[in-house]
A = this chain, B = another copy of it.
């Protein structure tokens, strides 16, 4: 048997390697950095990870992260427009939209997108709670801010079908040229959609 690191270090490398985006070499480099740093380097990270499952939860209403015992920063913010509901796939999408500064309404995190190949069905997503909230909040507009990949499109159509007839305006994010993008960096489908959705210049 060739020499290897002691068992604890081998276990740490295996655990680091299982993290997304970390290959065998970066896992080993990270392990060496952690073990050479001693207690001061690993303890704070270990403590945060250890408390993660206890202190962080999802808001029952919108699905964004909350700290246990504290109210949702979105749902309990009186400044936000309560009759606008923006549907996103992931909690991280909420922050992307917030950073754009273009939205002041409420959110609804689905927790994923419909994907029959990955066995993700409507029951796996927070779609039933979405319909309840749309009714309870007497929502005027539901914005489907889902990805423009196949699964995102399918999820948006599915939700739009369910909401139709409920007297709610259903909208989707505009599709078109990305900011700062030149025409020759954009694929044909994006150009097609940018042409279809062209806006009049006043």
Binding site for B on A (CB under 8 A): 2-9, 11-12, 15-16, 19-21, 26, 28-30, 32-35, 38-39, 42-53, 55-56, 65-67, 70, 73-74, 90-92, 94-95, 98-99, 101
> Which residues of B sit under 8 angstroms from A33, Cβ to Cβ?
19-20
Whether the Cβ atoms of B2 and A65 lie closer than 8 Å is no
Chain A interface main SS type? helix
Whether the Cβ atoms of A3 and B74 lie closer than 8 Å is yes
Known: A20-B33, A28-B92, A42-B49. A3 touches B65 (CB 8 A): no
- Residue among B32, B56, B91, B98 making CB contact with A91, cutoff 8 Å: B32
- Distance in Å: Cβ of A87 to nearest Cβ of chain B: 17
- Distance in Å: Cβ of A55 to nearest Cβ of chain B: 5
A16-B45, A19-B34, A38-B53 known; 19 new pairs, CB 8 Å cut-off, are A2-B99, A3-B74, A3-B94, A6-B55, A6-B66, A9-B65, A15-B48, A20-B30, A21-B30, A32-B91, A42-B49, A43-B50, A43-B53, A46-B46, A46-B49, A46-B50, A47-B50, A49-B49, A50-B50
- Distance in Å: Cβ of A144 to nearest Cβ of chain B: 20
Known: A32-B92, A56-B35, A65-B35. A15 touches B2 (CB 8 A): no
> Which residues of B sit under 8 angstroms from A101, Cβ to Cβ?
2
Whether the Cβ atoms of A65 and B6 lie closer than 8 Å is yes
Known: A46-B49, A56-B9. A29 touches B21 (CB 8 A): yes
